[in-house]
Amino acid sequence: MSTVLLTSGATLGTHVPALILAGRLRALGIEVRVEVFERLLRPDELDRLRAAKLAFRGNFKLAVAAQRMVRDQMPALDDAAVGDLLHAWRAADVDQVVIFSGFWVPVVERYEALTSRTPRVDICHLDAAPTASFNLFRARTERFRHVWMFDAERGTAPTSIRVGDEDPVPWEEREPRLLAHGGGWGLGTYRDRAADLARAGLLVDVVTHDPADVSGLPIGCRAFMIDPEWEAWQDDGFPPFGEILPDGTVRYRRGLAHHDSFDLARHRVAMLCKTGGGTLIDSLWSATPIVLLAPFGAHEQVNADLWRRLGYGVTEQEWRDSGHSLDLLKSLHRNLLAAREGTADYAAELAADAARTEVPG
């Protein structure tokens, strides 16, 4: 018996938490594998995905509009690759499935038809509202267990994927810098907003995805980069990440337990970014507040509204009106510290489920 985590490399806010969860499950003695949806795509569809990534980074409005036209991806898959994967699951006696991307739902349905065992299936929502891919299959997933990292109605984080085992860095030990990023694809207005803050005298670390992004950054910005050649579906690890040195070179690092940008977030006074689910998890476990930027779709708007309502984040305009107050950010940090108490450990829950269904030898 084994567990599979079904993720998508098209968004690191989905993929990275799945990798973290896999590591925590292995530490608890659970046999687990991570499957990346894009490994099933035909080569021509992968080329389209790469082209879309470039187009969306240059045009955030286009990216938001495209999200409203999401469709079932089964016709884009390589049938032989899907068949091989399903037979591998059957051979491994996969009995526990966690779906991080709705595009996997039809594949899981095919596995259910193929095996005599009825697997336990969790729909893992990293956001406070369903994403576009889950909305595609809303009716077909009602029979599965839905696990929410964030409950917008109750204003809680009922369960979570813990990032690292260290306590948050005390406020007094943090550098007075912000970490600006645009998620796994580098989407949104964060580079322009980071430059504005740097010109106002603030210190900002900016995560880039293209060497060309660095030239427009003013004094006060430090540039970091996710290796632009790296693709999640060709690799089993976290994205290579490093600081861009004055000579333009990058010394990439790769964490084993979590992504390296989380270590930056732990030592900063705030993140300047949009509000994907993966970013909310980073914010919670680093106790680093978010200066909220324009969201990517309706689910990120729900996330942003929740973070602001709970006192874990502040809009860019509100922070500007405060005179870029560090005391305001400190109060949000304290709220996040308190929020971590009482949050259930999703890895421990899954491990307990697996233990209950083991057949004695």
pLDDT at 192: 85
Q: Is the per-residue pLDDT at 312 higher than 80?
A: yes
Q: What pLDDT is stored for residue 73 in this prediction?
A: 87
Supply the DSSP string of 300-341, one letter for each residue.
HHHHHHHHHHTTSEEEHHHHHHTTS-HHHHHHHHHHHHHHTT
Residue-level pLDDT at 65: 56
| pLDDT of amino acid 49 | 83
pLDDT value of residue 68: 60
Q: From CA 191, how far away is CA 260, in angstroms rounded?
A: 20
Tens-place pLDDT, residues 201-231: 999 999 988 877 787 788 879 999 999 889 9
What is the band of 42 on the pLDDT scale with cuts at 50, 70, 90?
very high
Query: Any residues with CB less than 8 A from the CB of 80 and at least 6 apart, and which?
Result: none
Lowest mean pLDDT among 143-147, 148-152, 247-251: 247-251
Beta strand 313-315 with 344-345 is unpaired
Rounded to whole angstroms, the Cα distance separating 343 from 354 reads 20
Q: Output the pLDDT for position 61.
A: 64
Q: What is the pLDDT of residue 361?
A: 43
pLDDT tens for each residue of 162-207? 999 999 999 999 999 999 998 766 666 788 899 999 999 999 999 9
Q: Assign 156 to helix, strand or coil.
A: strand
* C-alpha distance from residue 272 to each of 52, 178, 293, 319 (Å): 24, 7, 7, 11
Q: In this predicted structure, which of 66-75, 270-279, 334-343 has the lowest mean pLDDT?
A: 66-75
Q: How does DSSP classify residue 173? A: G
- Statement: residue 360 has pLDDT above 60: no
Are the C-beta atoms of 133 and 70 separated by less than 8 Å? Answer: yes
CB of 16 within 8 A of CB of 238? yes
pLDDT for position 358 = 65
Hey, what domains does the chain have and what are their CATH numbers?
A: 2-162+344-356 (3.40.50), 171-339 (3.40.50.2000)
- Give the SS3 label for residue 278: helix
Average pLDDT on 82-106 reads 96
Judge whether 73 and 63 are in contact, CB under 8 Å.
no
What ranges in 212-358 are assigned the alpha helix state H? 261-266, 277-286, 298-309, 316-321, 326-339, 346-356
Average pLDDT over residues 52-79: 72
Task: Copy the structure tokens of residue 292.
Answer: 């909220």
Nearest alpha-carbon partner for 11 in 229, 178, 231, 225: 231
Beta pairing partners, 32 = 3
Q: Looking at residue 220, what is its pLDDT?
A: 79
Confidence at residue 56, expressed as pLDDT on a 0 to 100 scale: 62
Mean pLDDT over the full length of the chain: 90
Q: What is the pLDDT of residues 233-255, one digit of tens each?
A: 988 899 999 999 888 899 999 99
Compute the half-sphere exposure of residue 153: CA atoms within 13 Å on the CB side of its CA. 2
Enter the pTM of the model. 0.94
Q: What is the mean pLDDT of residues 151-161?
A: 92
Query: To 10 degrees, the CA torsion angle through 71, 184, 318, 299?
Result: 20
Averaged pLDDT for residues 331-341:
95
Q: How confident is the model at residue 337 (pLDDT cuts 50, 70, 90)?
A: very high
Supply the DSSP symbol for 10. T
